[in-house]
């Protein structure tokens, strides 16, 4: 199984493809140079397979590369960052 995480700016979300099929996304709202993550969804067929974690990890890695910061309003993104404190430096308090 191969994962690919890529941004879809037109839909304001990062998407994960599993073997070239859309398996989930994490949605954001741009706000003053930050991305406020509001919702994450994984297709039922891919739940319990680590797809959600791969999606958030791939998203956060891309944000780090770009020098972006985020506000994790989405409970799934917030919980992932709590479990992986190496990403805590990307988080800012909501303005």
pLDDT at position 33 is 83
State residue 32's pLDDT score. 84
pLDDT at residue 93, as a whole number: 81
- pLDDT the model gives residue 95: 59
pLDDT in tens, the chain (95 residues): 789 999 999 999 999 999 999 999 999 999 988 999 999 999 999 999 999 999 999 999 999 999 999 999 999 999 999 999 999 999 998 65
Residue 44: partners with Cβ closer than 8 Å, 6 or more residues away: none
Instruction: Give the pLDDT score at 39.
Output: 98
Distance CA 88, CA 73 (A): 14
Q: Is 14 exposed, middle or buried (0-12, 13-18, 19+ CB in 10 A)?
A: buried
Residue ranges and CATH numbers for the domains of the chain are 3-90 (3.40.630.30)
Query: Model pTM?
Result: 0.95
């Amino acid at each position: 199984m191969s994962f690919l995480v890529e941004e879809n700016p037109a839909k304001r979300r990062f998407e994960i493809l599993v073997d070239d099929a859309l398996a989930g996304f994490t949605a954001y709202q741009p706000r003053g140079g930050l991305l406020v993550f509001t919702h994450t969804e994984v297709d039922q067929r891919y739940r319990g397979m680590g797809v959600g974690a791969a999606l958030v990890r791939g998203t956060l890695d891309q944000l780090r590369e770009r020098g972006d910061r985020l506000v994790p309003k989405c409970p799934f993104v917030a919980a992932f960052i709590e479990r992986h404190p190496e990403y805590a430096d990307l988080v800012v308090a909501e303005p």
